[in-house]
Amino acid sequence: MFFLKENCIHNCIIIGSGPSGYSAAIYAARYGLNPILFSGPNPGGQLTYTNDIENYLGFPESIDGISFMDNCKKQALRFNTKILNKTINKVILSNDIGGTHRVFFGKSQDYLDSIGIIIATGSSSSFLGIKKEKELVGLGISFCATCDGFFHKEKDVAVVGGGDSALEETLYLSKICKKVYLLVRKNYLKASKILQKKVFEKKNVEINFSSIVTEIIGNDFLEGIKIFEKKNKTIRTVLLSGLFVAIGHIPNTDIFKNQINLDNKGYIIVKKGSTITNKPGVFAAGDVMDINYRQAITSASTGCMAAIDLDKYLSSL
Ligand SMILES: Cc1cc2nc3c(=O)[nH]c(=O)nc-3n(C[C@H](O)[C@H](O)[C@H](O)COP(=O)(O)OP(=O)(O)OC[C@H]3O[C@@H](n4cnc5c(N)ncnc54)[C@H](O)[C@@H]3O)c2cc1C
């Protein structure tokens, strides 16, 4: 068994290597908790998909996502975080105060035991599932208007989706961009009435119901899209600088189902103003517990909170 020694119970296992995981690792290491971090299927997390991070504090000239996450990793290593390039595939979480939690990984079901666990598994954006979409993420295709809207100042963009997030993205972009096409698959909007009213009032937003993006135009970067309009069964081409896909996020919590309290969308429920979950010694940080903000800086902040919450918990035992 990997790392398994009799009575070898760790203080801190961190699941995930995005901003929240590394931030938790740096704080936990500096508290002397000897964290072990599992980097999972996507080392570095979602930021590795982006070319320019312009809104993270302390980087006046912006930084690309891979370099940023590489810096986070180096900083965590500097404080002796043990990083394992493995994915956790099962957890057994104790209900007892001071109880031991077990995480499993690898084909042979190796496992580690720890009194403290920090879950930082993030979320995944839902894709449209069309050709070139994945290749052009960060090259005109985006899942975050707050992150990338600025690159399309005074240009034409489209948002796909009809829920609250899509309308919020639309409103944000309408303040920066020349024109925003809102492309809604259904013939109605799911979003709240108040958001709908705000969007309807925007003069530079064109709402297209029953519209499906069928093709992405552009090879090295996004140049436009083809839209199938169900009503009149026609396809039209729209030239765009940016395409914002806002059809939902899926928190990466499959392995925690039936182990920890999740909300109806699958996000981990934490005690307000903290990272405390319903399981003693288990804390959640970043996008996996945050349906609202989903930013690198908020993820890093809650990673820090999780390490502080864990240290307090261990000290109280
Ligand atoms: C294209 C794009 C551009 C963005 N640009 C910006 C930006 O400019 N500014 C900004 O503030 N935000 C931006 N964001 C949002 C930002 O990336 C996220 O808010 C942030 O990465 C969330 O951090 P996290 O640590 O919670 O999770 P993530 O970054 O999602 O990391 C999750 C980690 O968990 C690991 N993991 C998952 N399952 C397991 C498992 N079973 N076992 C072990 N590990 C596991 C993954 O491998 C990954 O390392 C962008 C997002 C995207 C998609």
Mean pLDDT by 10 residues, the chain (317 residues): 62 98 98 97 91 90 94 97 96 97 90 97 94 94 91 97 92 97 96 94 97 96 96 95 94 96 97 98 98 94 98 97
Q: What span, in angstroms and rounded, lies between the C-alpha atoms of 306 and 21?
A: 9
H helices present in 50-201, as ranges: 65-78, 145-148, 164-174, 193-201
Atom of ligand 1 nearest to the CA of 287: 26
Parallel, antiparallel or unpaired: strands 88-92 and 249-251: unpaired
Q: How far is the CA of 40 from the centre of ligand 1 (A)?
A: 11
Q: Is 31 left (phi over 0), alpha (psi -120 to 50) or beta?
A: alpha
pLDDT at 107: 82
Residue ranges of the chain assigned to CATH 3.50.50.60: 9-124+249-316, 127-245
Q: How far is the CA of 47 from the centre of ligand 1 (A)?
A: 6
Cβ–ligand 1 contact at 299 (below 6 Å): yes
Atom of ligand 1 nearest to the CA of 125: 53
Atom of ligand 1 nearest to the CA of 148: 8
From 39, 50, 90, 254, mutation site for ligand 1 pocket: most ligand atoms within 8 A of C-beta = 50
Cβ–ligand 1 contact at 87 (below 6 Å): yes
Atom of ligand 1 nearest to the CA of 17: 49
Contact 177, 252 (CB under 8 A): no
Q: What span, in angstroms and rounded, lies between the C-alpha atoms of 66 and 18?
A: 11
Nearest CA to ligand 1 atom 43: 40
Look at residues 300, 186, 181 and name the one whose alpha carbon lies nearest to residue 244.
181
Residue 176 burial (CB count, 10 A): 16
Q: How far is the CA of 123 from the centre of ligand 1 (A)?
A: 7
Atom of ligand 1 nearest to the CA of 285: 26
Catalytic residue list = 144, 147-148
Residue at token pair 């009032």? 201
Cβ–ligand 1 contact at 99 (below 6 Å): no
Cβ–ligand 1 contact at 50 (below 6 Å): yes
Cβ–ligand 1 contact at 174 (below 6 Å): no
Residue 134 burial (CB count, 10 A): 11
Cβ–ligand 1 contact at 40 (below 6 Å): yes
Q: How far is the CA of 46 from the centre of ligand 1 (A)?
A: 3
300's tokens: 């890093």
Cβ–ligand 1 contact at 120 (below 6 Å): yes
Classify domain 127-245 at the CATH topology level. FAD/NAD(P)-binding domain (3.50.50)
Q: How far is the CA of 214 from the centre of ligand 1 (A)?
A: 27
Look at residues 280, 279, 276, 278 and name the one whose alpha carbon lies nearest to residue 306.
276
Cβ–ligand 1 contact at 280 (below 6 Å): no
Q: How far is the CA of 17 from the centre of ligand 1 (A)?
A: 8
Classify domain 9-124+249-316 at the CATH topology level. FAD/NAD(P)-binding domain (3.50.50)
